Amino acid sequence: MRACGTSGASVTVRVPAKVNVQLAVGAARPDGFHDLANVFLAVGLYDEVTAVPADSLRITAEGHDVDQIPLDRTNLAARAAELLAARHGIEPHVHLHIAKDIPVAGGMAGGSADAAGALLACDTLWSTGASREELLEICAELGSDVPFSLVGGAALGRGRGELLTPLPVGGAFHWVFAVADGGLSTPAVYREFDRLTEGTQVPAPEADPELLAALESGDATALAAALANDLQPAALSLRPALTATLDAGTAAGALAALVSGSGPTTAFLVKDAQAAQQVAAALLDSGTCRAVRVADSPAPGATLA
């Protein structure tokens, strides 16, 4: 019997993007990372990763801006295949094809999604029988956001974001995302955070109980009031033009606007699907972004397609 998601000798996995509804950032740690209280919410924009047996490790990609992603072993998806193979004494001979729909370098964890997708696809293709715990361990080794890409839904990420506690979500939330020109480097945004907070006492990051209650009740107005991103001042400092995008979405009737993660994608929480269409159209008309995307949350984590 063939497992769901496999077709002959190929396996396809679908993985969601994320938005951080709260990103509380602490001071830089000795290892250079920052302790976080990171409330992840998976949103229904997906990359698909297909794994096919091959003579060597190879990556191809299709979709918007794929000229900006590396197709060599520095791609996190390739590293995922290599780490899994090394643990199980397998040669990482696989062709990974990435169909990208998540904005590249946009603060929506597209690279992390591809890593989680490649890991699950290779695990299925190679029948390694890795436990969920082992997969999550490999994800954490790959990057701070990768475990959440595997898990999806909503979760609180502690540590550098990799220590996850699932969170209940009481209803669907509707979003519009404005895609900016070019990407922002996550390390550069954290460095700018350090620069902006230099000489100040950065408080220990804590999840906001009101935000968690808003998620649990499915109350979009309450969630809008609680959205918070400590990286936003740093992203706006590096990309001042994003302020105009945030203002355009708010003027168009979004309940709230914020930078998604380290940016430069901006996220707009709206009250329903109709409002999403209106805000998306107004954002495009405003000329303050390159493209818009509409998506609902929560979305499932990495899933065999």
Q: Scanning residues 171 to 190, which ones bind ligand C5P (CB under 6 A)?
A: 186-187, 190
Tell me: is residue 105 an annotated ligand-binding position: yes
Choose, by CB under 6 A, the member of 14, 97, 100, 160 that binds ligand C5P: 160
Q: Distance between CA atoms of 153 and 166, rounded to whole angstroms?
A: 8
65 catalytic residue (yes or no): no
Is position 161 an interface residue for ligand C5P (rule: CB under 6 A)? yes
CA distance 267 to 222: 16
Among 33-41, 116-124, 242-250, 291-299, which window interacts with ligand C5P (CB under 6 A)? 33-41
226 in a labelled binding site: no
118 assigned ligand-binding residue: no
Say whether the peptide bond before residue 298 is cis (omega within 30 degrees of 0): yes
* Residue closer to ligand C5P (CB basis): 160 or 239: 160
The verdict on whether residue 282 carries a ligand-binding annotation is: no
Minimum CB–partner distance for residue 34 and ligand C5P (Å): 4
Based on the shown chain and the rule CB under 6 A, indicate whether residue 143 belongs to the binding site for ligand C5P: yes
Stretch that binds ligand C5P, among 30-38, 47-55, 58-66, 264-272 (CB under 6 A): 30-38
Question: Given 35, 114, 145, 230, which residue is catalytic?
Answer: 145
Rule CB under 6 A: say whether 20 interacts with ligand C5P.
Answer: no
Looking at 20, 50, 75, 144, which residue binds ligand C5P (CB under 6 A)? 144
Residue 113 annotated as lining a ligand binding site: yes
Total Cβ atoms within 10 A of residue 195:
10
Task: State yes or no: 176 annotated in a binding site.
Answer: no
- Note if 271 is an active site residue: no
Report the residue from 14, 18, 34, 97 that binds ligand C5P according to the rule CB under 6 A: 34
Residue 21 to residue 278: CA distance in whole angstroms: 22
- Size, binding site for ligand C5P by CB under 6 A: 12
At closest approach, how far in Å is the CB of 31 from ligand C5P?
9
Nearer to ligand C5P by Cβ, of 103 and 161: the residue is: 161
Say whether residue 36 binds ligand C5P (CB under 6 A): yes
Q: At what angle are helices 273-286 and 242-251 packed, to 10 degrees?
A: 140
Residues of this chain that bind ligand C5P (CB under 6 A):
32-34, 36, 143-145, 160-161, 186-187, 190
Residues annotated in a binding site for ATP: 103-113
Q: Where in the sequence numbering do the catalytic residues fall?
A: 18, 145
